[in-house]
Amino acid sequence: MNISCMMKTVIAAFGFMLPVTAACAGALTGQMDRQPVNVQALVMFFLFVGLTLWITKWAAGRTKSRADFYTAGGGISGFKNGLAIAGDFMSAASFLGISAMVMQVGYDGLIYAIGFLVGWPILMFLIAERLRNLGQFNFADVAGFRFSTVPVRVFAAFSTLAVVAFYLIAQMVGAGQLIKLLFGWDYLYAVILVGFLMMIYVLFGGMTATTWVQIIKACLLLAGVTFMAFMVLYLFDFSFENLFSAAITVKTGLALTDGKNTEEAAAIGRAIMGPGGFVKDPVSAISFGMALMFGTSGLPHILMRFFTVSNAREARKSVLWATIWNGYFYLVIFIIGFGAIALVLSDPELRSPLENGAGAANMAAVLVGKAVGGNLFYGFISAVAFATILAVVSGLVLSGATAISHDIFNMVLCKGKASGEQELRVSRIAIVVIGIVAVILGIVFEQQNVAFMVGLAFAIAASANFPVLLSILWSGCTTKGAVIGGTLGLVSSVGLTLVSPAVWVSTFGFSPESVLFPYSSPTLFSMVLAFVGVWFFSVTDKSKRAAIDKAGFPAQQIRSETGIGVNAASVH
């Protein structure tokens, strides 16, 4: 296959994303003011960029094959991979988005932290080992182990690209707002810079560079948030009661300033300590919780990391370490969110950057850093936040490029006969295309809360990828059931998201009365629809292919639980 065909593969694979996402461009109002250049932050920023570029150069020298590019050769230890996975999860959505959500609505912001965390036991006990034993480069290898290759890989590729698209939006918006706040650069140039650096890391360093950038960034971020949480508690005598009381007082005072009467202002102040600030009804609460809990097991860039370790035991250790680091991180980020209310919202000078559009609220965490550590720590935590975004974006782009080059180009179009060089060439073209799409999406969705956008990516992952992955546990599942069920989950989750209030009203600008789906998350409906689809179309499938699928279950079970034959299948 020539270069022209390769380009067509990449563009055709990604073309479906643009109409859906670009359609959401409307009604974005408000611009965050450009800020004066922060010298300390600028120095920290260039130090980090220099370090990561050196890592990329080092990693490029070690990247010789497909396995090196996609999975770092499978030589990462469980401990290091756990840190890298935690780094993937401690993204812009977690660090910037959750702290901003807590600052805005208080207690309800905790739903993200709990939801993100409780998904890990599912990953550890049901999927991690089986994933490592059955797959080679991505989750499509696992789903396609006993099913017909073409339909399963086409579904997996499009599902992966949909999740990557929504996840990329959050990261690019966070990066653009951060650089705009720190350096006074225009948002457009900030997003382009992020896209350019990300492409360099992935193009030349592959998974090795991405993993080491994640590990270094995870260590720096854990140290940074620990210092911030310690200082917030120190300023309130290590008393949660004092911290929460101060936060209630600040919220009450702001409500009085906005013209509320004393009784209304007091109610608004107390509301941050109870549910209902973000999730308005039980259906939305259950649906949102399901998205965060089960979506973890369907995120393509997280699943891909289980192929960077040497065996199933290391894969299980990866999840254990990732759970520990993430659990600690989400505990302290909740403290930082309330610290933002008590320290940032109470100070007019610190608060001013947050008053210029909805997207500006994403900068709450870095402003807490300025409040507790001055300009030097402000520069440090800003550089770490930028590193967080770059590392996560790199992992996302790599998983999207793998779906195009490995699944669509090699396994579908070339019937698995493409050489490693051809596949890598397509992968690098895909990285450039995805990088350009990421920049466009970052510009279009400038004013969105980054945590919310990631919540939508989790909803798609839980509704499309997770039900198909669980098919490895059911002997009766067939190709027809897995593909139709997964497609129902993918289409319904994206469709219901587009007609929900968050997009239909807030982004499209239609009236609240015209909303077609009244809940904030589609997962309760789309995930159930996917499972019912997998079951119904499997039990009613009497084709010859169904008989082959069912006959292949014992071999798949032995391989998934023992790892016998895994070395022959994985060129690590």
Residue type, 113: A
Distance CA 204, CA 219 (A): 23
Closest to 30 measured CA to CA, from 255, 260, 187, 259: 187
- The torsion angles phi and psi of 34, rounded to 5 degrees, stand at -70, 140
Q: Within a 10 A sphere around the Cβ of 3, how many other Cβ atoms? A: 11
Distance CA 189, CA 259 (A): 38
Per-residue pLDDT of the chain (572 residues; tens, 9 = 90+): 454 444 444 444 444 444 433 333 333 333 445 555 667 777 877 887 788 778 877 877 777 777 778 777 777 888 888 888 888 877 766 787 788 888 888 887 777 777 777 777 777 777 777 878 887 777 788 877 888 888 988 998 888 888 888 888 877 877 777 777 667 777 788 788 878 887 887 777 778 888 888 888 889 889 999 999 999 999 999 999 999 999 999 989 888 888 888 888 888 888 888 776 666 778 888 888 888 888 888 888 888 888 888 888 888 888 889 889 988 998 898 899 999 999 988 888 888 777 665 556 777 888 898 889 888 888 888 888 777 777 778 778 888 888 888 888 888 888 878 887 888 888 888 888 888 888 888 887 776 656 667 777 888 899 998 898 888 788 899 999 999 999 999 999 988 888 887 777 776 778 878 888 888 788 999 999 999 999 999 999 999 999 998 998 888 888 888 777 665 444 43
Q: Are 130 and 472 in contact (CB under 8 A)?
A: yes
Sign of CA dihedral 345, 351, 357, 363: negative
Structure tokens at 87: 């780094």
Distance CA 139, CA 399 (A): 10
If phi > 0 it is left, if psi is from -120 to 50 it is alpha, else beta; for residue 330 that is alpha
- The torsion angles phi and psi of 472, rounded to 5 degrees, stand at -70, -15
Structure tokens at 461: 């992952």
3-state DSSP call for residue 572?
coil
Residue type, 213: V
Q: Are 304 and 139 in contact (CB under 8 A)?
A: yes
Distance CA 216, CA 394 (A): 14
Q: How far is CA 198 from the centre of its chain?
A: 15
- The torsion angles phi and psi of 308, rounded to 5 degrees, stand at -90, -5
3-state DSSP call for residue 462?
helix
Classify each residue of 225-236 as buried b or exposed e, where b means 16 or more C-beta atoms within 10 Å of its C-beta.
bebbbebbbebb
Q: Are 399 and 69 in contact (CB under 8 A)?
A: no
218: burial class by Cβ within 10 Å (0-12, 13-18, 19+)? buried
Q: Are 308 and 74 in contact (CB under 8 A)?
A: yes
The CATH class, in words, for 37-562 is: mainly alpha
Q: Within a 10 A sphere around the Cβ of 245, how many other Cβ atoms? A: 15
Structure tokens at 356: 């210029």
User: Which secondary-structure segment (H or E) carries 339?
Assistant: helix 312-339
Distance CA 155, CA 149 (A): 10
Question: Where do the structural domains in the chain lie, given as residue ranges?
Answer: 37-562
Residues 513, 518, 520: CA angle, nearest 5 degrees? 130
CA distances from 26 to 31, 137, 350, 456, 571 (A): 14, 38, 30, 18, 47
User: Which secondary-structure segment (H or E) carries 59?
Assistant: helix 39-62
Distance CA 139, CA 131 (A): 7
Q: Within a 10 A sphere around the Cβ of 512, how many other Cβ atoms? A: 10
